[in-house]
Amino acid sequence: MKNSLPRRQLLGGGLAAAALLPMAAPRAEAAWPSRPIRFIVPYPPGGSTDVVGRLIGQALSEELGQPIVIENRGGATATIGSQAVAQAKPDGYTLLLSNIASHAIAATLFRSLPYDPVKDFTHIALLVNTPTILVVNPSFPARSLADIVRLSKERPGGLDMASSGSGSSNHLLLVRFAELTGAKLNHVPYRGGGPAMTDVIAGTVPMMSDTLPSALPHLQAGSVRPIAVSGPERSALLPEVPTFREQGIDLINLPWYGLSGPAGLDAAIVKRLSEATRKILASAELRARLGEIGSIAGDMGPEEYTRLVREEMGRWAPVVRASGASAE
């Protein structure tokens, strides 16, 4: 009969030998980004914000080497989509087209905002500035801001002026305009810039403020007439249209869009995204495409953009309160 080792001795020896084998290395996490990135645009498809989001998304996708999937989540002054990003996992795979409405105006407009515009986000880059333009129906007699102020005081009840909605940056521009000039304006809010523009073209309302990208096709068609642009200088697309400042009113309004993620985003991801956005926004091709729709490429990194968000919250708070607009 052959000698055999006791079972316990065999097991013990096996365990000892196993202990001498090198341990399997932990599975390395793939470098970011290793899969598609969700880019939430907090407005419905088809508008100027959506166009900006898709231009940026396409350029970023090419730079990062991964698909960027646009997800339109509109509603509640851009706060629904913004809240979704604030609550997302901070892994770099959910990003937001943050903007003046969701991250500056909403802080005062909403009695109970479901997120903190600074603390609940990682702000990465300012992407785009978009001037606002004041337009009138072609039959309306005003040719300048001074004409609008004069007519508003001469006509009983003042002048009606439309916007894309109560508490929108377009509405607040009108509030500030009236504060600075004493113009008697009656705000007529619409559910979006499209319906408002339709009524201005029809003559139902004589004028409105709108973002330049939204108004541009109607200006080019001659359906409305421009009065003033809200940027610090004239638009290259409309060089004949003077600014508010040129007409004696110290008013600048540049609605902005930026790139943000949830709070706690890894510093390496923030750095990669910041470098990528700076690179694409410096490209002549993207700047030209943004310019074609009346937008201006931004140039701010994480610290500067975070500071801008904070400053804009303070800047617009008194104007929102003066407007009387509020949202639940």
Q: What CATH number does the domain containing 95 carry?
A: 3.40.190.150
Domain count, the chain: 2
Question: Is 161 domain-assigned?
Answer: yes
Assigned token pair, 191: 């559910």
So what's the pLDDT on residue 311? 97
Please say which residue of 186, 212, 247 terminates a domain: 247
| pLDDT interval class at 17 (50, 70, 90) | very low
> What is the CATH classification number for the domain harbouring 242?
3.40.190.10
Q: How confident is the model at residue 11 (pLDDT cuts 50, 70, 90)?
A: very low
Structure confidence at residue 29 (pLDDT): 58
Q: What is the per-residue pLDDT across 138-161, written as a single tens digit (0 to 9) for each?
A: 999 999 999 999 999 999 999 999
Q: Are residues 199 and 54 in the same domain?
A: no
Q: Are residues 145 and 94 in the same domain?
A: no
Write out pLDDT tens, residues 68-110: 999 999 989 899 999 999 999 999 999 999 999 999 999 999 9
CA atoms of 201 and 137, how far apart (whole Å): 6
C-alpha span between 212 and 131 (Å, rounded): 6
One domain for residues 312 and 173: no
Q: Answer whether residue 226 is part of any domain.
A: yes
Q: End of a domain among 212, 247, 282? A: 247
Residues 237 and 276 in one domain: no
- Does any domain span residue 184? yes
Reported as a single tens digit per residue, the pLDDT across 178-233 is 999 999 999 999 988 889 999 999 999 999 999 999 999 999 999 999 999 999 99
Same domain, 98 and 142: no
In a domain, 12, yes or no: no
- The pLDDT, as a whole number, for residue 192 is 84
Would the pLDDT of 9 be above 90? no
- 142 with 230, same domain: the answer is yes
- Looking at residue 15, its pLDDT comes to 45
My answer on whether 108 and 136 are in the same domain is no
As a whole number of angstroms, the distance between CA 202 and CA 275 comes to 46
Distance CA 130, CA 55 (A): 14
Which run of H or E residues covers position 312? helix 302-323
Per-residue pLDDT, averaged over 2-27, amounts to: 47
Whether residues 121 and 190 fall in one domain: no
Same domain, 45 and 107: yes
pLDDT digits over 57-68, tens only? 999 999 999 999
Q: Where is average pLDDT lowest: 7-21, 219-233, 246-260?
A: 7-21
The percentage of residues in the chain with a pLDDT greater than 90, rounded to a whole number, is: 83
Q: Which of 190, 223, 247 is the last residue of a domain?
A: 247
Please give the span between the terminal C-alpha atoms of the chain, in angstroms, as a whole number. Answer: 89
Name which of 306, 297, 292, 237 is nearest 56 in CA terms: 297
8 A C-beta contact, residue 190 and residue 165: yes
Same-domain status, 202 and 282: no
Strand partners, 94: 38
Who contacts 191 (Cβ-Cβ below 8 Å, separation ≥6)? Answer: 165
> Within a domain: residue 177?
yes
- Paired with 133 in beta bridges are 210, 229
Residue 47: pLDDT above 90? no
Claim to verify: residue 118 and residue 99 sit in the same structural domain: yes
Residues 136 and 216 in one domain: yes
Q: Is residue 11 part of a domain?
A: no
197: domain range?
A: 132-247
Mean residue pLDDT across the chain:
91
Q: Are 190 and 162 in contact (CB under 8 A)?
A: yes
In a domain, 15, yes or no: no
**Residues 277-281: contacts with CB within 8 Å, 24+ apart?**
277/56, 277/60, 277/124, 277/125, 277/127, 278/125, 279/63, 280/56, 280/59, 280/60, 280/62, 280/63, 281/125, 281/127
Within a domain: 18: no
